[in-house]
């Protein structure tokens, strides 16, 4: 009997163990099936490059290494720390720091492992594990480990720019080093997670050892850059005049597939100039050798100097498939006089793009009307059914015109500087808003306050654009002034939102993510330098959440167009101009691949130096 009971117990234990094994196997199998392990990630799982890809399609994998790329910088700088609120960082000063993931120039929303060799995440993307390349090194030769990744996350969260802190604090629950080369991020509950692996994968990585050994304060401005792991290190810095970066011959990642055909210049030199015109003179004199021309006047009339005539300098117009930058005059909605949309609309009518384009820009530009200009995401006509799916739930807090009128377009003017038809429209709007013209020709409200507008400007090249605009505004009865300040003053006044109007940019993306909150979110209105206008709207906040929650591209596109429609209707900008071609000039010593990618000109990325051409031009006296 005892034996039979023991046998039964053994059988029971065996069956129980077998059952546990089956359950455990089921759990493990399910967990494995639900976990994605990949060399990269895209918003909707649409990676162009498969694991083991040899190089990006748009690079020349055999591009020679060597030579120098020289460009120009505007104004001055007093820091080589681009992640502090103090000081003005030098151009390209983020070049030292790499990220776990890096995007491409031919996909709108993909990122591939750079410091990370692979990544693991559940299908709901509520967390992500990055496996680091064991060979990753900082420029001082020290290992880059998961501890450095966690340290970087924490220091950006606690001491970084407000734009970094805000996103990190709201969206990341924790970062943990699981082992020397394995780090895990967990995201907070209740927020869209679609783009969060890419967001944390795009954070710059700093050396924990550097900060521990030196005692450097991350929040301080410094001309000594922190140690990074990137392909370039600092060679020399001459404050306000020149910065030279040199390619690190010991760069750990030079043989990675993601880097083939890239980072080809031995040196990158930045020459600083006080204003745009002196920078052009420097280019003509050969002080630097590559120029991305932003002045239509110079492009149309200035390229007749000897180096052009001798064939030493090339004028080139490769196609530009990127979104327009959203360049515009930006209202500061924190100012009382601009809270009334009728006032903003009236002032916008006084900027005459058509006259400016013909008279000042030689007809080379087109007008911006959309925050997603030069793309399929621009809202057009009346709302589509797809857009209405997002707009209808907000009907009670949206103006009727969103549903009844076509998407807002920039006003059209005559080819005369002062368009009298638009002047009459603007006058009627201001009259309705309570700003009445007095005997002295100046508009005042019932309290006797003058309608004032100060346009800040730190670029001499923009004088010819702003001055006619101010003249038109004064004809409207606005006490408008154009105030020239230097680059340092502009930085400080923008940071303190101490302005009526400035020229700025609203940079968007074909696959929008949490960056929308920085430019248009209510929470960012009082702290983010990206939200210069101080725009805040419950409806926009909800549409941003809809965009972040989109699970397929069609839904994303519809929600984005709905947001574009709303933002344009609010008129907190006066959109300026764009062109769908680059306008570049360079000494004929640089080369680029036959087919450029749509989303990046890539001058510092995948262009290269032609030594034979350099020697030829040098023998002819070009240098």
Cα atoms found within 13 Å of the Cα of residue 59, Cβ hemisphere only: 24
Give the C-alpha separation, 569 to 409, whole Å. 9
The dihedral sign for the CA sequence 88, 92, 93, 98: positive
Which of 230, 292, 255 shows the shortest CA–CA distance to 102?
A: 230
Which of 93, 92, 175 shows the shortest CA–CA distance to 127?
A: 175
Reduced to 3 states (helix: H, G, I; strand: E, B; else coil), residue 218 is: coil
CATH class, range 38-61+82-214: alpha beta
Distances (CA, A) of 412 to 121, 177, 364: 50, 57, 17
50 by Cβ neighbours in 10 Å (0-12 / 13-18 / 19+) ranks as exposed
CATH number for the region 328-577 comes to 3.10.105.10
Reduced to 3 states (helix: H, G, I; strand: E, B; else coil), residue 79 is: strand
Pairing state between β 452-457 and 479-484 = parallel
Question: Would you state the structure tokens that stand for residue 137, as one six-digit string?
Answer: 């090194």
CB 202 within 8 A of CB 40: no
Residue 110, C-beta contacts closer than 8 angstroms, at least 6 positions apart: 40, 41, 42, 46, 47, 48, 49, 103, 104
Low-confidence spans in the chain with pLDDT less than 50: 1-33
Q: What DSSP designation does 141 have?
A: S
Which of 72, 401, 421, 69 shows the shortest CA–CA distance to 245?
A: 69
Cα three-residue angle 78-81-85, rounded to 5 degrees: 85
Give the C-alpha separation, 371 to 326, whole Å. 6
Neighbours of 78 (CB within 10 A): 15
1 by Cβ neighbours in 10 Å (0-12 / 13-18 / 19+) ranks as exposed
Within its chain, how far is the Cα of 200 from the centroid? 16
Check for a shared fold between 232-321+580-619 and 328-577: no
149 sits in which H/E element: helix 146-159
Question: Would you state the structure tokens that stand for residue 278, as one six-digit string?
Answer: 């002196």
Q: What DSSP designation does 227 have?
A: P
Give the C-alpha separation, 402 to 247, whole Å. 52
Neighbours of 20 (CB within 10 A): 10
Complete DSSP assignment for 446-472: TT--B-EEEEEE--GGGHHHHHHHHHH
Instruction: Note the pLDDT tens digit of each residue in 8-62.
Output: 433 434 333 333 333 333 333 334 448 999 999 998 888 999 999 999 999 999 9
Residue 132 φ then ψ, to 5°: -85, 150
Neighbours of 19 (CB within 10 A): 10
pLDDT at residue 567, rounded to an integer: 98
Domain ranges of the chain: 38-61+82-214, 232-321+580-619, 328-577
pLDDT at residue 38, rounded to an integer: 97
- CATH T-level assignment (fold) for domain 232-321+580-619: D-Maltodextrin-Binding Protein; domain 2 (3.40.190)
Complete DSSP assignment for 340-353: SHHHHHHHHTT--H
CB 189 within 8 A of CB 124: no
Distances (CA, A) of 369 to 152, 373, 395, 424: 39, 7, 24, 22
Rounded to 10 degrees, the C-alpha dihedral 411/412/418/424 comes to -60
Give the C-alpha separation, 424 to 563, whole Å. 30
Question: Would you state the structure tokens that stand for residue 386, as one six-digit string?
Answer: 């797809």
The dihedral sign for the CA sequence 395, 397, 400, 404: negative
pLDDT at residue 170, rounded to an integer: 87
Cα three-residue angle 208-209-214, rounded to 5 degrees: 110
Q: What DSSP designation does 407 have?
A: P
CB 201 within 8 A of CB 114: no
Residue 431, C-beta contacts closer than 8 angstroms, at least 6 positions apart: none
Distances (CA, A) of 603 to 10, 37, 319: 73, 33, 14
């Amino acid at each position: 009997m005892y034996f039979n009971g023991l046998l039964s117990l053994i059988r029971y234990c065996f069956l129980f163990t077998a059952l546990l094994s089956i359950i455990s196997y089921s759990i493990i199998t399910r967990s494995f099936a639900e976990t994605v392990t990949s060399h990269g990630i895209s918003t909707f799982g649409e990676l162009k490059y498969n694991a083991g890809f040899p190089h990006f399609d748009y690079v020349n994998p055999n591009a020679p290494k060597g030579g120098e790329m020289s460009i120009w910088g505007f104004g001055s700088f007093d820091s080589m720390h681009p992640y502090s609120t103090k000081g003005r960082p030098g151009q390209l000063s983020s070049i030292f720091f790499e990220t776990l993931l890096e995007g491409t120039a031919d996909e709108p929303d993909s990122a591939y492992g750079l410091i990370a060799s692979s990544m693991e995440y559940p299908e709901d993307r509520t967390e992500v594990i990055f496996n680091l390349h064991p060979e990753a090194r900082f420029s001082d030769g020290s290992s880059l480990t998961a501890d450095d990744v966690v340290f970087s996350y924490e220091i950006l969260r606690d001491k970084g720019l407000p734009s970094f802190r805000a996103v990190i604090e709201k969206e990341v629950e924790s970062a943990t080093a699981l082992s020397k080369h394995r780090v895990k991020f967990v995201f907070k509950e209740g927020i869209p997670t679609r783009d969060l692996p890419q967001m944390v994968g795009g954070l710059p990585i700093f050396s924990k050892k550097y900060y521990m050994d030196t005692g450097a304060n991350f929040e301080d401005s410094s001309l000594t850059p922190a140690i990074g792991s990137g392909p370039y290190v600092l060679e020399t810095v001459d404050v306000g005049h020149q910065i030279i970066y040199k390619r690190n011959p010991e760069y750990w990642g030079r043989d990675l597939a993601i880097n083939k055909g890239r980072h080809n210049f031995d040196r990158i030199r930045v020459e600083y100039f006080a204003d745009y015109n002196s920078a052009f003179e420097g280019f003509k004199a050969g002080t630097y050798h590559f120029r991305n021309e932003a002045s239509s006047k110079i492009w149309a009339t200035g390229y007749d100097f000897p180096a052009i005539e001798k064939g030493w300098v090339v004028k080139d117009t490769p196609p530009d498939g990127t979104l327009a930058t959203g360049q515009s005059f930006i209202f500061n909605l924190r100012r009382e006089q601009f809270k009334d949309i009728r006032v903003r609309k009236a002032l916008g009518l006084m900027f005459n793009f058509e006259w400016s384009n013909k008279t000042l820009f030689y007809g080379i530009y087109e007008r911006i009307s959309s925050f997603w200009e030069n793309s399929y995401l621009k809202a057009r006509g009346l709302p589509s059914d797809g857009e209405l799916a997002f707009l209808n739930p907000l009907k009670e807090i949206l103006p009727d015109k969103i549903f009844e009128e076509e998407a807002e377009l920039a006003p059209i003017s005559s080819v005369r500087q002062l368009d009298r038809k638009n002047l009459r429209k603007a006058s009627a709007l201001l009259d309705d808003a309570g700003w009445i013209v007095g005997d002295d020709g100046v508009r005042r409200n019932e309290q006797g306050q003058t309608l004032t507008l100060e346009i800040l400007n730190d670029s001499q090249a923009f004088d010819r654009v702003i001055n006619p605009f101010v003249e038109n505004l004064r004809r409207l009865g606005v006490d408008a002034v154009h105030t020239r300040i230097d680059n340092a003053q502009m930085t400080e006044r923008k940071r303190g939102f101490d302005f009526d109007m400035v020229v700025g940019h609203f940079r968007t993306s074909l696959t929008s993510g949490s960056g929308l909150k920085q430019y248009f979110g209510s929470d960012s209105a009082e702290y983010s330098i990206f939200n210069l206008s101080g725009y805040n709207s419950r409806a926009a906040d909800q549409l941003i959440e809809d965009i972040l929650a989109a699970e397929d591209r069609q839904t994303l596109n519809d929600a984005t167009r709905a947001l574009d429609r709303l933002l344009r209707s609010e008129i907190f900008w006066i959109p300026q101009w764009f062109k769908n071609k680059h306008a570049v000039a360079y000494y004929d010593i640089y080369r680029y691949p036959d087919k450029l990618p749509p989303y990046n000109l890539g001058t510092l990325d995948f262009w290269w130096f032609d030594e034979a051409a350099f020697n030829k031009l040098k023998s002819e006296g070009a240098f």
